[in-house]
Amino acid sequence: MLVAVDVGNTRIKVAVFEGSTILEQFNFNSYKLQNELHFILNKYKKASELVVSSVGNISKDIFIEFENKVTIHFITSDFHFPFTNTYATPNTLGIDRMILASGAVLMFPNQNRLVIDSGTCITYDFIDQNDNYLGGAISPGIRLRFESLHNYTAKLPLLSLESIKEQNLDRIPIIGNSTFESVNSGVINGVINEIEGFISKYEAVYPKFIIILTGGDAEFLAKRLKNTIFANSNFLLESLNQTYQYKIKND
């Protein structure tokens, strides 16, 4: 039994795996990490491995107190991944993007793959059918766009994705007839058009590839995108588990 820990920019996500099956998931703020891990490891006493991926500001020392319960593994850029990294600055490539690329290769072999992670940032990562990681793009996520409009203007309100979800809005009007609608139109329609625009650009070079959409906003966006995609909000946690299993088999 394995516990996968994804330390993100905003939240910490944890999944308990039995093989490739997720038994239970947890999602919490970083200040709750120690208490939550105590709870999880006490609940799943058969867990023997703790695999951690982090892009957040969490010290590794926090995990030390759990060494008497589980073997702890930190996934870093030095890890042996199942792809060739052709990024011009490989040492600057985020570990989250590397794990997503790894999961795409392991779960969708012999295909061109585009992984879109819609979280704090929206990242695009392309891995070709020969398992070469080519690179991608990074842009602000939905929450960052809402916050920047509020923080860098004098009068625009702070809106959020939650307000849209509460109103069950399937589509945001292109022409907003209020400040609320105008901000929502700019942010949500802007993100949708951005994603579909990137996909169109990739299609001009690679006529056939699989699109994997993940991250906290994946479910919301999947319903609004025209392109056929594989949407899985747990793809990073599953990729973390798959990457560790790959390491075991290839050591």
Helices 190-205, 142-151: crossing angle, 10 deg rounding? 130
Residue 226: closest CA among 182, 193, 188: 193
How many CB atoms lie under 10 A from the CB of residue 36? 18
Catalytic residue positions?
96
Is residue 37 classed exposed, middle or buried when 0-12, 13-18 and 19+ CB atoms within 10 A define those classes?
A: buried
Q: What are phi and psi of 37, to 5 degrees?
A: -65, -40
What CA–CA distance (Å, rounded) separates 136 from 122?
Answer: 11
